[in-house]
């Protein structure tokens, strides 16, 4: 798929005020793939996991190479790239564009024990299958592992293990991209950095130069962030495209870092309260940090949290399948993933010591090191929680009002502010008389408060609560857009504005305008499309 790497011209990395420049390759040869317009072929692609109604498309195409992607983009007026459509933001729901499905951009090449190249259309589950056969692993996996490589790069997806491994961004070494005019950009991390004054330049074959100005807003210092364009002085051009949600370019393939497959053990720990769950998580994070510095054996990579309200709404069958007794109503569950080195059983001994120290009385449920089936069974309990809430939302929609929608937040705070943030979420929801459930990636400070709406009024009040929570987490140095992105959700776009202000949105729009002057790629994603006279 990818050809020769693009060459940089210009000075030493980011030292002077002249921007570094990358030369874009002309449109690679390739036929325009056929654009299907039959309604029955388009219909399955008119919605994503946000289930926003009213999707419509001009057609759908399944390009098989960078050349075909480029030819399609060059020939179309409006294009929406899609992966597995697991977006929770409506970002992968078409609004009249030609849908560019990446599912035929397959192909996985393992270069070495630490690098793999994968097509944008490779599902992460398939990537892991190929890697597992070689004892290798790609760490930044979201809870839904059917997501595609391209979709996870476009949203800077992050999973449970972000506190150990970081988000997708940290694992991308190189990208092959198709820009809005159909030209090809091949970028390798470390080659093209913004100048001191925040300038980046792209030069096409005719010598025309496009200047991109890196936005100036400060990004919050949190474990994960999927909130519009990455912006940092002297940043790497690769980072501008990661997390840009398909608005600046189409990801055709990516070169990703990989590691040896860790051997894991999973423990399900029942805590008597939020307070105990938070202090245990803090203690386990400390243990993990020590082990990474060679001082200790308890290498914890992820701690997932399910609150008592979420447990109460999870059907009995999920507990039966996990082999776990339903905890009492006041309890909170933590799923702790531990990486085990060799045959070292000191990690599990140390876990028991930490549990005792934190006053946890119930004996945890364990999947022993290497017992992947057992680990999956316990982790499926976590996955049963969003499914249970989605089923309740769907039932209210069917029974009460078809306008009822999933009303959920994706909030992250610096870990030190976690207890305060949970208190804030509960008070914002309870003061409005809302039923809700709370779960998420506790070790990252990233939780998903979900309203369980009984009426359209609950949905409205839930949105107000999310706005209040968002303002609260921003004041704590956190972010209201942690891992799912912004997409076409009016509420999430409002949260982006709360985070960076009108001026931040204008700076993002200037980046978009420079790279995609006709607003061809994913129009209306991240921020509204300008009215005709504005741009
Ligand atoms: C049950 C469930 C659990 C989830 N858990 C997590 C989680 O733990 N962490 C997390 O981060 N997310 C999670 N998500 C959200 C979702 O899985 C991620 O956002 C994922 O990265 C989307 O990948 P996708 O292939 O489905 O992309 P899509 O949903 O198809 O697209 C997402 C966005 O990326 C753009 N895009 C897709 N492919 C490309 C491409 N090749 N080039 C440019 N732009 C592109 C689309 O236009 C769209 O704006 C979850 C979703 C579900 C349903």
SS3 450: strand
Which tens digit of pLDDT belongs to each residue from 203-243?
887 788 999 999 999 999 999 999 999 999 899 999 999 99
Q: What is the rounded average pLDDT of the residues 114-130?
A: 98
Check if 147 has its Cβ closer than 6 Å to any atom of ligand 1.
yes
Give the per-residue pLDDT at 29. Answer: 76
CA-CA distances (angstroms) from residue 333 to 142, 356, 451? 20, 16, 19
* Cross-strand pairs, 290: none
CA-CA distances (angstroms) from residue 516 to 23, 82, 96, 202, 203? 17, 18, 18, 12, 14
pTM for the predicted model, two decimal places: 0.93
Q: Are 100 and 63 in contact (CB under 8 A)?
A: yes
Q: Are 332 and 308 in contact (CB under 8 A)?
A: yes
Instruction: For residues 170 and 152, give the distance between their C-alpha atoms in angstroms, rounded to a whole number.
Output: 12
Give the per-residue pLDDT at 25. Answer: 74
Residue 488, CA atoms < 13 Å, CB-side half-sphere: 22
**Nearest protein CA to atom 5 of ligand 1, as residue:** 143
Which of 87, 95, 105, 139 for mutating ligand 1's site (highest number of atoms within 8 Å of CB)?
A: 87
Confidence of residue 4 (pLDDT cuts 50, 70, 90): very low
Which tens digit of pLDDT belongs to each residue from 335-373?
999 999 876 778 999 999 999 999 999 899 999 988 989
**Nearest protein CA to atom 44 of ligand 1, as residue:** 246
Check if 220 has its Cβ closer than 6 Å to any atom of ligand 1.
no
Q: What is the rounded average pLDDT of the residues 397-415?
A: 95
Check if 154 has its Cβ closer than 6 Å to any atom of ligand 1.
yes
Check if 140 has its Cβ closer than 6 Å to any atom of ligand 1.
no
Confidence of residue 527 (pLDDT cuts 50, 70, 90): very high
Give the per-residue pLDDT at 481. Answer: 98
* 408 backbone dihedrals φ, ψ, rounded to 5°: -140, 155
Is the pLDDT reported for residue 531 higher than 80?
no
Per 3-state DSSP, the chain is made up of helix, strand and coil in percentages (nearest 5) of 35, 20, 45
Q: What's the gap in Å between 276 CA and the centre of ligand 1?
A: 33
Q: What is the DSSP string of 231-243?
A: --TT-BHHHHHTT
Q: What percentage of the chain exceeds 70 in pLDDT?
A: 95
Is the pLDDT reported for residue 387 higher than 50?
yes
Instruction: For residues 244 and 230, give the distance between their C-alpha atoms in angstroms, rounded to a whole number.
Output: 8
Helix 346-357, helix 274-292: angle, nearest 10: 140
Is the pLDDT reported for residue 19 higher than 60?
no
Which of 81, 151, 387 for mutating ligand 1's site (highest number of atoms within 8 Å of CB)?
A: 151
Q: What is the rounded average pLDDT of the residues 389-395?
A: 95
Instruction: For residues 316 and 324, give the distance between their C-alpha atoms in angstroms, rounded to a whole number.
Output: 10
Q: Ligand 1 atom closest to Cα of 157?
A: 11
Is the pLDDT reported for residue 508 higher than 50?
yes
Average pLDDT, the chain: 92
| SS3 letters across 10-24 | CCCCCCCCCCEEEEC
* Cross-strand pairs, 269: 334
Check if 251 has its Cβ closer than 6 Å to any atom of ligand 1.
yes
Which tens digit of pLDDT belongs to each residue from 174-192?
999 999 999 999 999 999 9
Give strand ranges (E) for 41-153: 59-61, 79-82, 98-101, 108-112, 115-119, 136-137
Q: Are 97 and 78 in contact (CB under 8 A)?
A: yes
Torsion of CA 35, 39, 41, 47, to 10 degrees: 100
* Cross-strand pairs, 23: 203
Check if 483 has its Cβ closer than 6 Å to any atom of ligand 1.
yes
Give the per-residue pLDDT at 308. Answer: 96
Q: Ligand 1 atom closest to Cα of 87?
A: 29
Q: Which of 220, 210, 217 is nearest to 506 (CA)?
A: 217
Q: Are 412 and 446 in contact (CB under 8 A)?
A: yes
Confidence of residue 21 (pLDDT cuts 50, 70, 90): confident
């Amino acid at each position: 798929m990818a050809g020769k790497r693009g060459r940089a011209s210009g000075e030493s990395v980011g030292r002077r005020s002249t921007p570094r420049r990358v030369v874009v390759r002309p449109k690679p040869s390739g036929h325009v793939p056929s654009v299907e317009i039959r309604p029955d072929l388009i219909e399955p692609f008119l919605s994503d996991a946000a289930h926003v109604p009213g999707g419509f498309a001009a057609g759908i195409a399944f390009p098989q190479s960078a050349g075909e992607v480029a030819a399609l983009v060059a020939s179309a007026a409006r294009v929406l790239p899609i992966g597995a459509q697991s977006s929770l933001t409506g970002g992968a729901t078409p609004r009249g564009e030609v849908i560019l499905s990446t599912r035929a951009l397959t192909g996985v090449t393992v270069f070495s024990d630490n690098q793999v190249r994968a097509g944008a259309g490779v599902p992460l589950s398939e990537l892991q299958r190929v890697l597992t056969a070689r004892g290798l692993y790609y760490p930044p996996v979201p809870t839904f592992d059917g997501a595609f490589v391209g979709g996870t790069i476009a949203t800077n997806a992050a999973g449970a293990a972000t506190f150990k491994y970081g988000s997708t961004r940290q694992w991308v070494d190189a990208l092959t991209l198709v820009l809005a005019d159909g030209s090809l950009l091949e970028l390798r991390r470390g080659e093209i950095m913004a100048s001191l004054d925040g300038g980046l330049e792209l030069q096409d074959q005719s010598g025309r130069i496009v200047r991109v100005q890196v936005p100036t807003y400060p990004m919050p210092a949190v474990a994960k962030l999927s909130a519009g364009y990455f912006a940092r002085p002297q940043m790497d051009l690769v980072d501008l495209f990661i997390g840009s949600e398909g608005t600046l370019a189409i990801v055709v393939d990516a070169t990703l870092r990989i590691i040896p497959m860790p051997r894991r053990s999973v423990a399900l720990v029942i805590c008597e309260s939020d307070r105990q769950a938070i202090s245990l998580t803090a203690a386990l994070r400390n243990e993990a940090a020590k082990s990474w510095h060679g001082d200790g054996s308890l290498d914890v990579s992820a701690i997932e949290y399910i609150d008592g309200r979420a447990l109460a709404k999870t059907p009995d069958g999920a507990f039966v399948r996990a082999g776990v007794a339903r905890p009492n109503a006041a309890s909170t569950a933590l799923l702790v993933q531990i990486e085990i080195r060799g045959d070292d059983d000191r990690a599990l001994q140390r876990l028991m010591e930490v549990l005792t120290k934190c006053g946890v009385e119930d004996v945890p449920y364990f999947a022993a090191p290497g017992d992947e089936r057992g680990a999956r069974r316990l982790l499926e309990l976590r996955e049963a929680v969003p499914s249970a809430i989605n089923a309740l939302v769907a039932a209210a929609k069917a029974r009460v009002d078809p306008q009822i929608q999933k009303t959920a937040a994706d909030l992250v705070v610096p870990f030190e502010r976690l207890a305060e943030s949970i208190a804030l979420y509960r008070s914002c929801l309870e003061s409005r008389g809302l039923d809700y459930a709370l779960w998420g990636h506790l070790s990252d400070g990233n939780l998903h408060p979900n309203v369980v709406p009984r009426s359209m009024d609950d949905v409205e009040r839930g949105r107000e609560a999310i706005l209040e929570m968002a303002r609260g987490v921003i004041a704590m140095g956190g972010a209201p857009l942690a891992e799912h992105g912004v997409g076409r959700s009016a509420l999430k776009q409002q949260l982006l504005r709360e985070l960076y202000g009108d001026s931040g949105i204008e700076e993002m729009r200037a980046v978009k305008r420079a790279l995609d002057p006709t607003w061809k790629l994913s129009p209306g994603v991240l921020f509204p499309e300008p009215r005709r006279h504005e741009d």
